[in-house]
Amino acid sequence: MNHHFAQFNVAWLKKPFDHPATADFKNAIDPIHDLADKAPGFVWRLIADGHSSATTLRPLGEDGIINFTVWESRDAMAAWVYRSPEHAGALRRRRDWFHPPMEPNVAMWWIPAGHTPTLEEALDRLQYLRNNGATPLAFTYKDKYMPEDAEAYLKEPGKPPLGDAPIGAAQARRCIDAYVGAWNEPEAGTRTQMLAQVMTDDGTYLDPVKVATGRAALVEYIGQVQAKYPGGRVVRTSTVDVHHHACRFHWCVAKADGTRLPESLDIVDFARDGRIRRVLGFFGPAVSETSATPATPSSAA
């Protein structure tokens, strides 16, 4: 066999790993992995140094639990993941422990037999899927690509390479809409969970009146803005204009009575994994050099 089948996935916890609501998942990790290691066609799985699984590795933030395995074939992977009573039972309960993903959260691809893939490789494949949709380089279980399809794909002119690729327009739009949705979420805990999937743990937010470092600070600031405009909503008013790892978009606050505050601008820098690492906000329309006074800050997004 010249190729093996790799799969990488991330799931976003509803509650912290040590929370009682997550206990059934936490307690099942080692027993299920012990069974997986003995499953027909199993080749390899990522394990953190000094641990029995990869759950302590959090390359996508504290709320993101990862799993990374290699199998002899697609069928061997599917037999364990989807049809074994032990894993399939846990899979059916995933909504008890994890949020529905806002982005594709499972990437699969073929690797040369004997190759041990790295975590960086897995993150690049997942980002490639999110950016380009299913291709022979990164796909989902329903896509029936074979190893030779990847070789042919790479020979086609104009195909984006793996690695530090630009953020795609569709991915940027999904991310920004989820981010704006967090600004309209009244419950702080839910805001935190929504931002976890689209903003890095150390992400920063800056506008003319506020500097918020980290998601917790931003979640608190959003609550302050909501209190200032009860019943109001942040509305994206433009397309999401993206290039490389940055984008910009316009937005405004629609007040409860239907009136709208002046349109403002956000400039966003993305991390390599496609999540937001910095938001730079400007209130109101651009100020000309002949203006006597700058625009008055109104709100933030």
pLDDT tens track for 80-131: 998 998 898 888 999 999 988 888 999 999 999 999 999 999 999 999 999 8
Q: What is the DSSP letter of 164?
A: S
pLDDT tens track for 246-261: 999 999 999 999 999 9
pLDDT of residue 124: 93
Residue 294 has pLDDT above 60, yes or no: no
Least confidently predicted of 9-13, 59-63, 118-122, 280-284: 59-63
Please compute the mean of the pLDDT values over residues 198-215 and round it to a whole number: 95
Look up residue 129 and give its amino acid: L
CB 107 within 8 A of CB 7: yes
Residue 291 has pLDDT above 80, yes or no: no
Backbone phi, psi, residue 16, to 5°: -55, 160
Work out the mean pLDDT of the chain and round it to a whole number.
91
Whole-number Cα distances in Å, 139 to 9, 10, 50, 87, 109: 12, 14, 31, 21, 6
pLDDT tens track for 41-78: 999 999 999 999 999 999 988 889 999 999 999 999 99
Residue 299 has pLDDT above 60, yes or no: no
Q: Regarding predicted confidence, which is higher, 161 or 241?
A: 241
Residue 288 has pLDDT above 90, yes or no: no
Please compute the mean of the pLDDT values over residues 191-203 and round it to a whole number: 91
pLDDT of residue 117: 96
pLDDT of residue 300: 61
pLDDT of residue 272: 85
Residue 145 has pLDDT above 90, yes or no: yes
Query: Which tokens in the block code for residue 68?
Result: 């990374």
Please compute the mean of the pLDDT values over residues 185-209 and round it to a whole number: 93
Angle, helices 169-183 vs 215-228, to 10°: value is 60
pLDDT of residue 1: 65
pLDDT of residue 199: 94
pLDDT of residue 207: 96
What is the pTM (predicted TM-score) of this model? Answer: 0.82
- Domains belonging to the chain, first-starting first, are 3-155 (3.30.70.100), 169-282 (3.10.450.50)
CB 248 within 8 A of CB 261: no
3-state DSSP percent of the chain in helix, strand and coil, to 5: 35, 25, 40
pLDDT tens track for 221-277: 999 999 999 999 999 999 999 999 999 999 999 999 999 999 999 999 999 888 999
